[in-house]
């Protein structure tokens, strides 16, 4: 699996590269600036990119902007964004096109090697992964969603990219019960069945936008 890594801190960048290579990934580019990231995403044809939000030259959101620009030119390009802080705007922008292949993790999560590698693999496969800390903070700030407490729990796990089976195991309920809660969430958020839209991603996006 081909990976592009973008991180301005050399030690962290080298650590991520070594970690990924140890798990069989092929790192085709490891860059430290926004312009270099955009070039790598458009020319190196990665299967997934691991991107720091804040990169030189401006150290604001150059990494995110480069990723979104590349994704606009290559729809569905899998992007796993790393951030130092919980930033609702970044998570919302990443999900804005309604497709998968997107992740948002806090940098602290990189220290958990198994969890980080699993997130990279899930995003590369087209899944959606949001850091549990991000989800917990955002869910706590959104009490007006028209959902039951159990539906809130299901949506929280859904936002982390978990399958119905994984959600059922975490909540000690059957997979069928999860499916029922999921359908209720879709109905309450006005998400009709569609062959083109990933309703799980759209449900999370509705949540991030403060439905």
Which of 15-19, 76-80, 195-199 comes out lowest in average pLDDT?
Answer: 195-199
Residue numbers of the domain that contains 186: 142-208
Q: Are 146 and 127 found together in one domain?
A: no
**Per mean pLDDT, which of 73-82, 136-145, 155-164 is the most reliable?**
73-82
Mean pLDDT of 110-136: 85
Q: What is the CATH number of the domain that holds 195?
A: 1.10.10.10
Any domain includes 136 = no
Any domain includes 28 = yes
Cβ atoms 108, 83 nearer than 8 A: no
Last residue of a domain, one of 81, 102, 131: 131
pLDDT at 211: 47
Any domain includes 118 = yes
Q: Are 108 and 176 found together in one domain?
A: no
Q: Are 112 and 160 found together in one domain?
A: no
Q: Are 110 and 163 found together in one domain?
A: no
Last residue of a domain, one of 97, 131, 165: 131
Q: Are 76 and 174 found together in one domain?
A: no
Q: Are 118 and 158 found together in one domain?
A: no
Any domain includes 137 = no
Confidence of residue 55 (pLDDT cuts 50, 70, 90): very high
Q: What is the CATH number of the domain that holds 74?
A: 3.40.50.2300
Any domain includes 48 = yes
Bridge-based pairing of strands 79-83 and 102-106 is parallel
Q: Are 29 and 72 found together in one domain?
A: yes
Confidence of residue 111 (pLDDT cuts 50, 70, 90): confident
Any domain includes 29 = yes
Domain count, the chain: 2
Q: Are 152 and 112 found together in one domain?
A: no
Q: Are 149 and 125 found together in one domain?
A: no
Mean pLDDT of 118-130: 89
pLDDT for 34-46, tens place per residue? 999 999 999 999 9
Q: Are 163 and 66 found together in one domain?
A: no
- Answer whether residue 139 shows pLDDT above 90: no
pLDDT at 22: 95
Q: Are 111 and 176 found together in one domain?
A: no
Last residue of a domain, one of 101, 131, 161: 131
Q: Are 119 and 89 found together in one domain?
A: yes
Any domain includes 160 = yes
Average pLDDT along the chain? 85
CA distance 68 to 78: 10
């Amino acid at each position: 699996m081909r990976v592009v890594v973008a991180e301005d801190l050399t030690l962290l960048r080298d650590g991520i590269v070594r970690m990924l290579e140890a798990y069989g990934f092929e790192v085709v580019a490891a860059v430290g600036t926004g312009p270099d990231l955009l070039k790598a995403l458009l020319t190196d044809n990665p299967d997934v990119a691991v991107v720091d939000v804040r990169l030189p030259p401006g150290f604001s959101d150059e990494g995110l902007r480069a990723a979104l620009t590349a994704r606009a030119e290559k729809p569905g390009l899998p992007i796993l964004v790393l951030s130092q802080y919980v930033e609702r705007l970044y998570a919302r922008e990443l999900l804005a096109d309604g497709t998968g292949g997107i992740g948002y993790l806090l940098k602290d999560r990189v220290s958990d090697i198994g969890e980080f590698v699993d997130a990279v693999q899930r995003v590369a496969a087209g899944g959606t992964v949001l850091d549990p800390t991000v989800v917990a903070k955002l869910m706590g700030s959104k009490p007006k969603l028209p959902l039951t407490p159990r539906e809130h729990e299901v949506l929280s796990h859904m936002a982390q990219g978990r399958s119905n089976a994984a959600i059922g195991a975490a909540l000690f309920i059957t997979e069928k019960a999860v499916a029922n809660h999921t359908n209720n969430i879709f109905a309450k958020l006005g998400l009709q069945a569609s062959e083109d839209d990933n309703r799980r991603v759209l449900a999370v996006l509705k949540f991030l936008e403060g439905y």
